[in-house]
Amino acid sequence: MTAPSHPPQIRERTIAKARVLIEALPFMREHWGKVVVVKVGGATMERAPLSRSFAEDVSLLLHAGIHPVVVHGGGPQVTEVSERFGLEASFVNGVRVTDRETLDVATMVLAGQISTRIVGLLIAGDVPAVGLSGVDGGLAVARRQAEPDLGYVGEIVRVNAEVVRTLMAKGFVPVVASIAADAEGHPYNVNADVMAAELAIGLEADKLVYANDVPGVIGPAGDLLSELGVQDALDLLANGTVVDGGMIPKLESAVRALKAGVSRVHLLDGRVEHSLVLELFTPEGVGTMITPDRTASGDAP
Ligand SMILES: Nc1ncnc2c1ncn2[C@@H]1O[C@H](COP(=O)(O)OP(=O)(O)OP(=O)(O)O)[C@@H](O)[C@H]1O
Ligand SMILES: [Mg+2]
């Protein structure tokens, strides 16, 4: 008796599915056991369908042996609630000017509303997420940023990754809001891109991924720049006309992370479903990849 065989179309489809999985194998091997910091921007998170796919992506990372750490922003949401309180939002080089009232709003919105929303979403997607801010467990110690002085805007002076490592070792996914306290316990508003880069450095992450409401870094001709080196990024920042607003702290943070040993920074369109999985597990890179510059000997530093 011969074994029943499937019709040819079904066989082809089944094999194609298997091929996709097999093609992901080298990427899974490459990323296994590594820390990947994923920063999700506020604008990206406004879209509910994307959010579900984001939970699926984080779940896949987790089950592929990656240790994901999520950091979130919330620019549009902080602005909206500030306006409800009659506070006007203003920015200098893409960083929010933060007076006492705005700091209260940022703390409520970031460490309260948005953190709870993201953790809830991930939990609903079977990802064991735990929300914390830079204040919890002394994760990120800040001081008031002096240059320029933007009020209660903090810069990170130290990362104590112990709390995050402990969570990750037990299989939890930390979700970090970008509020950090100084040595006296006073809270500061930290730009979320800066927080993500500092955590990536402190956790010796392999990759830092910025999920944005744009496809990546847009160049002078209006086209997507798919690959940049550190010097290219510095040149774009120095140019003064190509990069503005929230892209300034993002590129500055990317450069800092790459110089401190993070091997890749990716900027991708968080509005595109499964962009994270596409970036990590397929040969088709999406968005912009920033890499360390090669040294004269040809080696990455
Ligand atoms: N050259 C550029 N390429 C791409 N985006 C740019 C460029 N210059 C400025 N931008 C702006 O940077 C924005 C992204 O930074 P923004 O701070 O607004 O978002 P985010 O960091 O993802 O969110 P959040 O601040 O809430 O964490 C884009 O929406 C775009 O308007
Ligand atoms: Mg931003």
Listed residue (109, 102, 194) closest to 145, CA to CA? 194
Task: Decide whether any atom of ligand 1 lies within 6 Å of the 136 Cβ.
Answer: no
Range 189-217 average pLDDT = 97
Tell me yes or no: is domain 33-291 CATH 3.40.1160.10.
Answer: yes
Contact 40, 177 (CB under 8 A): no
pLDDT top residue among 49 and 238: 238
pLDDT at 39: 97
The closest-lying atom of ligand 1 relative to the alpha carbon of residue 44 is: 22
How does residue 176 score in pLDDT terms, banded at 50, 70 and 90? Answer: very high
* Mean pLDDT across 64-89: 95
Q: What's the rounded mean pLDDT across residues 95-114?
A: 96
- What residue has token string 């200098």? 92
Ligand nearest to the CA of 41: 1
- Ligand 1 binding pocket includes 245 (Cβ within 6 Å): yes
Query: Which ligand ends up closest to the CA of 177?
Result: 1
> How many angstroms separate the alpha carbon of residue 92 from the centre of ligand 2?
12
Whole-number Å distance between alpha carbons of 280 and 24: 9
User: Is 3's pLDDT higher than 80?
Assistant: no
State residue 275's pLDDT score: 93
Ligand with smallest separation from the Cα of 244: 1
CB 199, CB 159: distance < 8 Å: yes
Alpha carbon of 62 to ligand 1 centroid (Å): 27
Q: Is the CB of 73 under 6 A from ligand 1?
A: yes
Determine how β-strand 95-96 pairs with β-strand 288-291: unpaired
pLDDT category, 191, cuts 50, 70, 90?
very high
* CA 242 to centroid of ligand 2, rounded, Å: 16
Return all residues near 244 (Cβ < 8 A) that are at least 6 apart.
Answer: 94
Nearest CA owner, ligand 1 atom 23 = 41
Residue nearest to atom 14 of ligand 1 (CA): 246
Query: Closest ligand 1 atom, CA of 78?
Result: 26
d(CA 132, CA 23): 36
Q: Flag whether pLDDT at 175 surpasses 60.
A: yes
Q: What angle do CA 257, 90, 245 make, to 5 degrees?
A: 40
Average pLDDT value for residue range 149-166: 96
* Position 192 pLDDT exceeds 90: yes
Kindly state if the Cβ of 215 falls inside 6 Å of ligand 1.
no
CA distance 300 to 65: 26
